[in-house]
């Protein structure tokens, strides 16, 4: 596997030019094809960008207070099915503004997704490196841990933790980390084993580099590509799991606004007010789609 | 081959043992399990009685050994909320969960293989784009949300199928559809990828030069080769699929293990959760073993190599 450094830094529009590159690189690429951006990748990156902006600027973007109830405005439909522009996506059973709640819910989704991905990624990459770079015994131990984890569905881990420890944002992240590390460990182990016998690894060994240095300074930087690809797919999976748990009422506590919790709350009014449950579902599906598309594009790009 | 399966079986047993040990740890995670067990406001005397009744007054290592010994004999203790043993309560729900999983996998396989083959047989842009959209949507739409929408449209608006519960085969259809979307997308994507790679190989060119019809090449020659990675990956995804089934069950109030475990989580009935985790773990491990067996029937080369496609996929894909 070869890693092209500029690829990891490229943005949706032009190229991020690394410092010290010839000035020719600064020219805008003449066509989409030159950026390597596929329609799917562009859509994915654009959606991710929107999501990040919405989540970061959330409190300034919400047209109404997402938690304020207004019983006179209960179950207002969205603007395209007879609602008003004051409440573009309608209101829920307590008269709370759905657009504001969807915007606010994006914060939790992204926070949980990114935090769990970072922690699980760190653990998974470490275990994968140990398995792929330190010989048979480590390899067996980590592979066994992987099969133990695979034998318990994440949702059951979530149910178990919720039953034993109660529900909290922290517990949700713990559940996601327990399920998330496997994906990284698998890919890193495989790549590490493949690179182990590369010529430059032999050279580093011949220079007398100790095993720890071999792993961290020589092997690790070359694993960045596959790890980034897995990470972008994992953010989607983590957000989906958080939503499932919150939907069941066993994830983030109800006081916090989450898409999963909103979808659950709207289920009672499904027959009379479809939008309450459906709109956060669309936000969730678009988010998962965004990270999946970005992951697919990165996979193609960094291969 | 017998040696291979004996070795696999031993490995899988150690996995199940580890899972059961983890479920034991669950009880003690929160510190004192009596807080979850005793009703709020119980007197110290009641708490001590409950402790003795459920064996929680012994030292933890003793509890662990007793727990393991009982679990091996199929005894996960009594439910904390209802006066009945935990394991039979879970096993009672197993057939319903298996029916749901079977139906969903059936739908996903038929539709996924169909779409995969179509996109390989007709590699025009329109067809590829269509299949792409199905695959992406199937992966992005959460099963529990799809379930909600299906209830709204099919059960409430059109009144075609029951919205919840389990009353005859018709009540399996909607939850199975909701659950099938994700594996359907996966099968389609993997099969298309596999077929594309296989179709570029020499033996396909040979078949073409002999004048074999294109449909026969795809179905008879390429599909068999492309099926293997799909199968191995599905085996690996068993855990994900079963997790999805558990959530879908609660959406449809479908009386399977999922809704049982959900109720148990809400009422903090830990023995039921422990038994559910153990039963599901055994189910997943058995699925992995069956996938290995079937893979051998599809591709006899695996027997010679003594390889486990699931184990290999588990650490490589």
* Residue the block writes with tokens 């760190």: A122
More confident position, B178 or B9: B178
**From the list B26, B141, B315, which residue is nearest A160 (CB)?**
B26
pLDDT at A30: 53
Q: What does pLDDT average to over chain A? A: 81
pLDDT at A33: 55
For A267, the closest chain B residue by CA position comes to B148
More confident position, A95 or A207: A207
In this complex, do A263 and B265 lie within 8 Å of one another by their Cβ atoms? Answer: no
Residue-wise pLDDT tens digits, A233-281:
889 989 999 999 999 888 888 888 899 888 888 888 877 888 888 889 9
pLDDT at B280: 93
Give me the total of CB pairs closer than 8 Å, taking one residue from chain A and one from chain B.
Answer: 155
Which ranges of chain A would DSSP assign to H, the alpha helix?
A: 5-9, 32-35, 39-61, 98-133, 136-150, 154-165, 169-195, 199-206, 211-213, 224-247, 259-265, 275-302
Does residue A8 have a pLDDT over 50?
no
Residue-wise pLDDT tens digits, B32-62:
777 777 777 778 888 888 888 777 878 888 8
Any idea which of A116-130, B198-212, B224-238, B264-278 has the lowest mean pLDDT? Answer: B224-238
In this complex, do B266 and A250 lie within 8 Å of one another by their Cβ atoms? Answer: yes
Does residue B237 have a pLDDT over 60?
yes
CB-CB contact of A37 with A276 (8 Å): no
pLDDT at A22: 43
Residue-wise pLDDT tens digits, A170-206:
999 999 999 999 989 888 888 887 787 778 888 888 8
Does residue A147 have a pLDDT over 80?
yes
Which of A105, A154, A156 has the highest number of chain B CBs within 10 A, making it the mutation to test binding with B?
A: A156
In this complex, do B314 and A159 lie within 8 Å of one another by their Cβ atoms? Answer: no
The H or E element spanning position B115 is helix B86-121
Does residue A117 have a pLDDT over 70?
yes
What mean pLDDT comes out for the span A215-222? 81
Which of A155, A233, A270, A273 has the highest number of chain B CBs within 10 A, making it the mutation to test binding with B?
A: A155
Does residue A6 have a pLDDT over 90?
no
pLDDT at A20: 42
pLDDT at B187: 87
pLDDT band at A32 (very low <50, low <70, confident <90, very high): low
| Minimal C-alpha gap between B152 and chain A (Å) | 6
Cα distance between residue A204 and residue A210, in whole Å: 9
């Amino acid at each position: 596997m070869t890693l092209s450094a500029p690829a990891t830094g490229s943005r949706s529009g032009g190229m991020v030019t690394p410092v010290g590159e010839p000035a020719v690189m600064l020219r805008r690429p003449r066509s989409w094809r030159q950026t390597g951006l596929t329609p799917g990748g562009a859509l994915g990156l654009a959606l991710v960008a929107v999501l990040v902006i919405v989540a970061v600027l959330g409190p300034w973007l919400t047209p109404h207070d997402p938690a304020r109830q207004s019983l006179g405005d209960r179950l207002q439909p969205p603007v395209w099915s007879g609602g008003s522009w004051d409440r573009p996506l309608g209101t829920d059973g307590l008269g709370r503004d759905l657009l504001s709640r969807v915007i606010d819910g994006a914060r939790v989704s992204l926070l949980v997704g990114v935090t769990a991905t970072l922690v699980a990624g760190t653990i998974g990459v470490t275990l994968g490196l140990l398995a792929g770079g330190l010989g048979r015994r480590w390899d067996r131990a980590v592979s066994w841990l992987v099969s133990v984890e695979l034998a318990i569905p994440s949702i059951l881990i979530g149910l178990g933790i919720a039953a034993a420890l109660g529900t909290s944002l922290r517990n949700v992240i713990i559940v996601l980390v327990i399920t998330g590390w496997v994906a990284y460990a698998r890919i890193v182990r495989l790549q590490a084993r493949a690179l182990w016998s590369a010529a430059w690894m032999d050279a580093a060994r011949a220079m007398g580099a100790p095993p720890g240095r071999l792993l961290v300074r020589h092997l690790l930087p070359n694993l960045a590509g596959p790890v980034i690809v897995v990470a972008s797919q994992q953010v989607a999976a983590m957000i989906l799991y958080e939503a499932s748990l919150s939907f069941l009422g066993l994830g983030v506590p109800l006081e916090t606004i989450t898409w999963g919790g909103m979808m659950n709350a709207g289920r009672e009014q499904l027959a009379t007010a479809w939008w309450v449950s459906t709109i956060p579902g669309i936000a969730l599906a678009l988010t998962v789609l965004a990270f999946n598309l970005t992951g697919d594009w990165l996979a193609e790009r960094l291969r | 081959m017998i040696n291979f399966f004996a070795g696999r079986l031993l490995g899988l047993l150690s996995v199940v043992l580890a899972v059961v040990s983890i479920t034991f740890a669950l009880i003690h995670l929160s510190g004192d399990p009596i807080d979850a067990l005793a009703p709020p406001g119980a007197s110290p005397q009641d708490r001590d009685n409950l402790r003795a009744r459920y064996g929680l007054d012994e030292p933890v290592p003793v509890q662990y050994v007793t727990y393991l010994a009982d679990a091996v004999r199929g005894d996960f203790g009594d439910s904390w909320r209802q006066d009945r043993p935990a394991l039979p309560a879970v096993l009672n729900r197993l057939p319903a969960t298996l029916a749901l999983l079977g139906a969903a996998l059936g739908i996903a396989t038929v539709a996924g293989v169909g779409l995969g083959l179509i996109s390989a047989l007709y590699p025009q842009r329109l067809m590829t784009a269509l299949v792409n959209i199905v695959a992406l949507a199937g992966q992005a739409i959460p099963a529990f949300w799809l379930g909600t929408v299906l209830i709204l449209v099919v059960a409430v608006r059109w009144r075609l199928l029951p919205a919840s519960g389990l009353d005859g085969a018709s009540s399996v259809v909607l939850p199975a559809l909701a659950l099938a979307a994700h594996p359907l997308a996966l099968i389609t994507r993997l099969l298309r990828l596999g077929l594309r790679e296989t179709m570029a190989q020499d033996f396909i060119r040979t078949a073409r030069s002999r004048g074999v019809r294109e449909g026969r090449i795809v179905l008879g020659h390429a599909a068999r080769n492309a099926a293997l990675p799909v199968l191995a990956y599905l085996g690996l995804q068993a855990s994900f699929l079963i997790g999805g089934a558990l959530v879908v069950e609660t959406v449809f109030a479908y009386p399977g293990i999922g809704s049982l475990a959900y109720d148990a989580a809400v009422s903090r009935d830990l023995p039921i959760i422990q038994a559910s985790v153990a039963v599901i773990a055994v189910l997943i491990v058995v699925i992995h073993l069956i996938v290995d067996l079937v893979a051998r029937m599809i591709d006899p080369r695996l027997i010679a190599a003594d390889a486990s496609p699931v184990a290999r996929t588990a650490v490589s894909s």
